[in-house]
Amino acid sequence: MKRMSRWLLGIAAAVTFACPATAQSQRTFLIGFMVPSSQSTTEAWVAAFREELAGLGYTEGRNLVIESRFANGARDKLPGYASELAAKKVDVIFAPGEPALLAAKANGANIPIVSVTCDPLHKLLGSLARPGGNATGFTCVSSDLSAKRVGLFKSLLPKARKLALLYNPADNGEPELAEVDRAGAAAGLEVARFPVSSGKDLEGAFKGMVAQGCAGVYILASSFANEHRAALASIALEARLPALYGFREFAEVGGLMSYGASFVTGFRRAAHLVDRVLKGANPADIPVEQPTRFELVLNAKTATQLGLELPPILLTNADEVIE
């Protein structure tokens, strides 16, 4: 009888060793999720994050609970959200967007953080290879693509001499603006800056662009721009201004052209980083991930409405042309 008991215990131990996820699934993990934008504008990204977690063995209601907070563009709510999630003693905070990341670092009681941001995270965390502190994530390296985006605009309108730059001072800093200025100068373009801080500012800004003779507008990636992407596409079309954006979601709602990394991919990769943290990894030792592919998306319908003919070089290089 004792031999049989020992044999059964050995079998149980072997099964547990072979299936470590079984032991993990007995615990319910708590993820805090806070985002500067609204639920509707981030729906596809959040769905990708949840799907990837499910593929990694996490089932909401069984071994996973996600506490979600959407600021709907009101970034002043983020510090309070971070404090709330810290009080709930979440295992990790997923804080996509620079405003959410900064709020989580300042108010998250040193809870591990995973983020997806437009700017290189080493500017915020210290190093891509070894971020240090309590945060890591996926960077879209958006501001590093300024020269490429300006070049695409010049391919579309080779005779253009002036380019408007629309940005939100709360999200986009001087180093990023300076990169666009340098890229514009190299392409023979004068860059005219148009700061906006609320949706109410958009129509006035576009009227100013037209009055100053801008040939088009470069809209810097930010949580503000994401929250207003449909309005931006509509107002740009009404103003007859070709608009250049950072991510495909803008072209999908009527923007003319976008070039950048995939946010869906970023959110999927973030799920893997969250998984590593939940399994005990220290964010300080998890290298920041970078995109391996960038997408050029063109909206042919918008081009037609603007009276533009998309040049062959753009059509050939496009990853997708929306008809």
Give residue 143's pLDDT: 84
Q: What percent of the chain has pLDDT over 70?
A: 91
User: In this structure, is residue 21 part of a structural domain?
Assistant: yes
Query: Could you report the per-residue pLDDT of 26-69, keeping only the tens digit for each?
Result: 799 999 999 999 999 999 999 999 999 999 999 999 999 999 99
Give residue 5's pLDDT: 42
The better pLDDT of the pair 24, 171 is held by 171
Report, as an integer, the average pLDDT of 95-109.
Answer: 94
Residues 104 and 250 in one domain: no
Residues 130 and 277 in one domain: yes
State the residue range of the domain holding 98.
2-141+263-285
User: Does 20 score more than 50 pLDDT?
Assistant: no
User: In this structure, is residue 20 part of a structural domain?
Assistant: yes
What average pLDDT does the chain have? 90
User: Does 12 score more than 50 pLDDT?
Assistant: no
Residue partners of 238: CB distance under 8 A and separation at least 6 = 206
User: Does 148 score more than 50 pLDDT?
Assistant: yes
User: Does 259 score more than 80 pLDDT?
Assistant: yes
Residues 255 and 267 in one domain: no
Distance of CA 78 to the CA centre of its chain: 16
pLDDT confidence of 14, banded at 50, 70, 90? very low
User: In this structure, is residue 46 part of a structural domain?
Assistant: yes
Structurally, the chain folds into a number of domains equal to 2
Give the C-alpha separation, 216 to 162, whole Å.
8
Give the C-alpha separation, 134 to 239, whole Å.
45
Residues 191 and 313 in one domain: yes
Report, as an integer, the average pLDDT of 6-32.
Answer: 56
User: Does 120 score more than 90 pLDDT?
Assistant: no
User: Does 159 score more than 90 pLDDT?
Assistant: yes
Q: Any idea which residue has 């405003």 for tokens?
A: 99
Strands 216-219 and 190-195 turn out to be unpaired
Query: Could you report the per-residue pLDDT of 212-246, keeping only the tens digit for each?
Result: 999 999 999 988 999 999 999 999 999 999 999 99
Report, as an integer, the average pLDDT of 61-80.
Answer: 95
Report, as an integer, the average pLDDT of 69-74.
Answer: 93
Give residue 139's pLDDT: 92
Residues 136 and 184 in one domain: no
User: In this structure, is residue 246 part of a structural domain?
Assistant: yes
Strands 216-219 and 257-260 turn out to be unpaired
Report, as an integer, the average pLDDT of 258-282.
Answer: 97
User: In this structure, is residue 90 part of a structural domain?
Assistant: yes
Give the C-alpha separation, 136 to 158, whole Å.
40
The better pLDDT of the pair 60, 128 is held by 60
Closest CA to 71 of 63, 61, 62, 82: 82
Map residue 33 onto helix, strand or coil. Answer: strand
pLDDT confidence of 123, banded at 50, 70, 90? low
Instruction: Work out the burial of residue 272: count CB atoms within 10 Å of its CB; fewer than 13 is exposed, 13-18 middle, 19 or more buried.
Output: middle
CATH number at residue 106: 3.40.50.2300
Helix (H) or strand (E) holding 162: strand 162-167
Query: Could you report the per-residue pLDDT of 291-308, keeping only the tens digit for each?
Result: 999 999 999 999 999 999
Give the C-alpha separation, 136 to 315, whole Å.
36
User: In this structure, is residue 274 part of a structural domain?
Assistant: yes
User: In this structure, is residue 252 part of a structural domain?
Assistant: yes
Residues 16 and 130 in one domain: yes
CB 117 within 8 A of CB 97: yes
Residues 160 and 188 in one domain: yes
Give the C-alpha separation, 156 to 272, whole Å.
38
User: In this structure, is residue 290 part of a structural domain?
Assistant: no
Residues 305 and 160 in one domain: yes
Query: Could you report the per-residue pLDDT of 183-212, keeping only the tens digit for each?
Result: 999 999 999 999 999 999 999 999 999 999
Q: Any idea which residue has 């943290």 for tokens?
A: 277
CB 81 within 8 A of CB 103: yes
pLDDT confidence of 171, banded at 50, 70, 90? confident
Residues 170 and 207 in one domain: yes
Reported residue count of the chain is 323
Helix (H) or strand (E) holding 63: none
DSSP calls for 89-157: T-SEEE--SHHHHHHHHHHSTT--EEEEESS-THHHHS-SS---TTEEEEE--GGGGHHHHHHHHHHH-
Give residue 121's pLDDT: 63
Residues 8 and 127 in one domain: yes
Residues 208 and 132 in one domain: no
Residues 207 and 60 in one domain: no
